[in-house]
């Protein structure tokens, strides 16, 4: 058996093993660690956005527009669907970004009743800076793992994600 460092999850599992020795607690330990990694990772990720004057939601909107490619415009409904947001939630994000001068709403050339959301020059500059900092941060967060370990973790995460998505 390989010795490993004990963590808070081990303490919780040990308590359950003591109280309910008949339970299989392997999944609890794994999912507990995944949950804790998510909490800690999310804090580290959010800190990059905050340092650049953005919240996660604003980053997501700017990133979706930037990923869309030239002319860096999308319909607000498409943006909402892409980010799995309600139309009202999207409107409030767009209002904040527009007030900050990072996006603008423009009339759709094909349908004057419709509107499109476009990155401004300032918005494109901001997202290019932030996404570079974000990817450096994520790389640093995973730097404790070797390249083969990162590939294996990605492979396993894909299998688990696919299974969870099929349930919903």
Mean pLDDT along residues 20-44: 96
Distances (CA, A) of 101 to 46, 50, 142: 21, 17, 34
Token pair recorded at residue 134:
């974000």
- What count of other Cβ atoms lies within 10 Å of the Cβ of residue 142? 13
Res. 44 pLDDT band, cuts 50 70 90: very high
Distances (CA, A) of 53 to 16, 48, 136, 147: 43, 9, 18, 32
User: What distance in Å separates the CA atoms of residue 148 and residue 145, rounded to the nearest whole number?
Assistant: 8
User: What distance in Å separates the CA atoms of residue 43 and residue 148, rounded to the nearest whole number?
Assistant: 26
Q: Domain segments of the chain: what residues?
A: 54-166
CATH architecture of 54-166: Orthogonal Bundle (1.10)
Share of the chain above pLDDT 70, in %: 98
Taking only the tens place, the pLDDT of each residue in 143-155 is: 999 999 999 999 9
Distances (CA, A) of 67 to 15, 36, 71, 120, 127: 47, 30, 10, 14, 10
């Amino acid at each position: 058996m390989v010795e490993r460092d004990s963590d808070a999850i081990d303490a919780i599992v040990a308590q359950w093993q003591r109280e309910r020795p008949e339970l299989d607690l392997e999944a609890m330990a794994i999912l507990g660690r995944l949950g804790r990694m998510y909490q800690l990772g999310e804090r580290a990720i959010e800190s990059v956005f905050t340092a650049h004057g953005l919240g996660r939601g604003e980053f997501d909107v700017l990133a979706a527009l930037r990923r869309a490619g030239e002319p860096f415009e999308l319909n607000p409904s498409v943006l909402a669907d892409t980010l799995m947001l309600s139309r009202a939630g999207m409107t409030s994000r767009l209002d904040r970004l527009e007030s900050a001068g990072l996006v603008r709403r423009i009339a759709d050339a094909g349908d004057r009743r419709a509107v499109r959301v476009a990155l401004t020059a300032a918005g494109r500059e901001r997202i290019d800076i932030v996404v570079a900092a974000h990817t450096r941060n994520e790389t640093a967060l995973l730097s404790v793992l070797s390249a083969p370990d990162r590939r294996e973790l990605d492979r396993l995460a894909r299998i688990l994600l696919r299974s969870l998505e099929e349930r919903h």
